[in-house]
Structures are given as structure tokens and as C-alpha cells.
Amino acid sequence: MNLAERIRMKAAESLPTVELYGETYRVRPIRQAEYVDVIDDCMAYARNFTSEQLKGQQPNGMKVKMLTTLLQAQPDISNLLGKVNMDDAYSVAIGHAVIISFAAMQAVRALTTEDGKLAYPEISDRIDIATELIKDEAALQVITSAMEGAPKNESPEA
């Protein structure tokens, strides 16, 4: 084991643990620089569940209203997401899916193995787990609470 691996393992030992779907994970805080990666994950999630056939179509008025409210309530995500074309159903659906998946994608990225490595390094796995967490609010809350309790200065490198 090299020095970087030993440091990562030592840092991981101080992280809170959670049990989720029969597996035990350590939960690390998300570093500020990772938020762009989280948004990229959310975009991949959104593209995975949004039909290209929506491009150019008029969006559902209720979805536009909901997205507008969500963007106003979460200005940090709104800034990272950028401008959403509120006249295009595809753009509105993507924006909505990004915001809906943000907390779940953060939680998935926070999960590490016992040795401090990302529990789900592949985007397809992160999308699958995020989808489950969006449906399972209690599990998402467990991870979110553990993230808040994780030491901020000892986040192991993923």
C-alpha cells in the first residue's frame, strides 16, 4: 500500500458510517470543487430519463411553474445549471430532473468504501443508486445527516 492509499484509509476511519440496502458505507463531505461533477452527474441522470422527442415542443405549464419555483429556491444549483429555455419541453424536463436529482447525486458521491474510495465510481451505478434515493426519502436523509456530521477537513480523495 502506497502513502496516498494509507492517508486515504486513515482519513476514512474518521468518517461516519451508514448502512444502506444491506451495505455499509463511510460518508464523506462533498468538497466545493466537486459540485461541478455533481451537476455533470445530474445532467447524465436527466438525459437518461428525458426523451429527445421533447425537443422543440411546448412545455407543460405546470412543469415550467414548478421549475421556476425550484430554481428560485435553490440559486446555487440555478447558477451551476445555467439558463433554461422555458419555451422548450426538453430543456424544462432536463432542468427539472437536474434539480430533483441534486441531493441524491450529492449523497451518492459522498458514499465511500471502507478504504475511502468512491463506492460508485461508474456514472451508470450512480444514476441507479440516485434513482433509488429519490424514491427513498428516509435513506437519503440518513446519508445527508451523515454528510453534515462528517469532518470537513478530512475528506479522502476519491
Nearest of 112, 116, 120 to residue 45 by alpha carbon? 120
- Residue 155's pLDDT band, with cuts at 50, 70 and 90, is very low
pLDDT tens, position by position, 72-88:
988 888 887 888 999 99
Nearest of 75, 118, 78 to residue 98 by alpha carbon? 78
pLDDT of residue 8: 64
47 vs 52: CA distance, rounded Å: 8
pLDDT tens, position by position, 87-109:
999 999 999 999 999 999 999 99
Total-model pTM: 0.81
Domain boundaries, the chain: 3-149
Q: Which helix (H) or strand (E) holds 66?
A: helix 61-73
Q: Mean pLDDT score of the chain, rounded to an integer?
A: 88
Answer whether 117's CB lies under 8 Å from 109's CB: no
What is residue 21's DSSP assignment? T
